[in-house]
Structure 1
């Protein structure tokens, strides 16, 4: 009987030590607005932009494609479809930059990427991955718009 009590006490102690905590700062309205699950997370699409197959030396073609790329980034941010974008430092894998798209499927991400002139002209090639991150990621955009001094 004593060993059964010991096992029961151990199980009870383990349940208490692994019990989930409720966040006292939890804002149900904000969580719903941002699409957060119970952990404050949601699914995004991470896009790794690699050097594409277009090796054209036509500088005007390249300039137009990348100007369109930057214009498209701005539009997607305004539409709240693009949360993070930025170039990568030169590396051996030919990764050029990243996007984090505020969509939960690869199909939706592909539709968005079809609007990018640098991708359409094959100067950039996207690799897509589902990514699980904080649903509050988009909240940094307001602050980021207040700290840049010189734009593209």
Structure 2
């Protein structure tokens, strides 16, 4: 009985130490600041922007809506709510761009998307999906300001 108990204890200690794979670079305060779970991940909302249903040919209206779209992107990025944005290349699926929103729910994402003039005007439509990615993703943003040469 004592041998079985000793063997069980050794086995238990071995498995718990084997299962534990601590990261020597782990920064608890950074993980907390970024909202990371134990895997260094968190929930976001991934947005696919598609061509909307508005087929207007009013060039000034379109230009104004897309100027507002770009202003809104900057506003959301400054508020740390939008961490990835970019256009898609020409494609048959009518995909125009993507956003990764730094929010946990579809409802929060939809509230942010309602602030976009091109989406409001139905020049763009948005499909939203829950997405699980690295909590460190927003940390690239300060570097982006150091690598672009021409304003877009």
TM-score computed with the length of structure 2 as normaliser: 0.89
- Does residue 93 (structure 1) correspond to residue 84 (structure 2)? The answer is no
Matched, 1:84 2:84: yes
Please state if 1:39 is matched with 2:16: no
Which structure 1 segments of 5+ residues have no match?
1-7
- Note closer, same or farther for the CA distance 1:53–1:21 as it changes in structure 2 (3 Å cut): same
Runs of 4+ in 1 over 6 A off after TM superposition: none
Give the 3 Å change call, closer, same or farther, for CA 126–146 of structure 1 in structure 2. Answer: same
Match for residue 22 of structure 1? Answer: 22
- Structure 1 residue 20 displacement after superposition: 3.4
Specify whether residues 22 and 93 from structure 1 end up closer, same or farther in structure 2 by C-alpha distance, changes over 3 A only: same
Query: Which residue number in structure 2 is paired with residue 64 of structure 1?
Result: 64
Question: What's the offset of the Cα at 1:19?
Answer: 1.7
Structure 2 unmatched ranges of 5 or more: 1-7
Partner of 1:52: 52
Deviation (angstroms), 1:39: 0.3
Aligned residues: 142
SS of equivalent residue, structure 2 residue 111: helix
Specify the alignment match of 1:3 in structure 2: none
Q: Secondary structure at the match of 2:19?
A: coil
CA offset digits 1:74-132 (Å, max 9, x no partner): 00010000000000001111110000000000000000000000000000000000000
TM-score, structure 1 length as denominator? 0.89
The 1:120–1:19 alpha-carbon spacing in structure 2 relative to 1, beyond 3 Å, is same
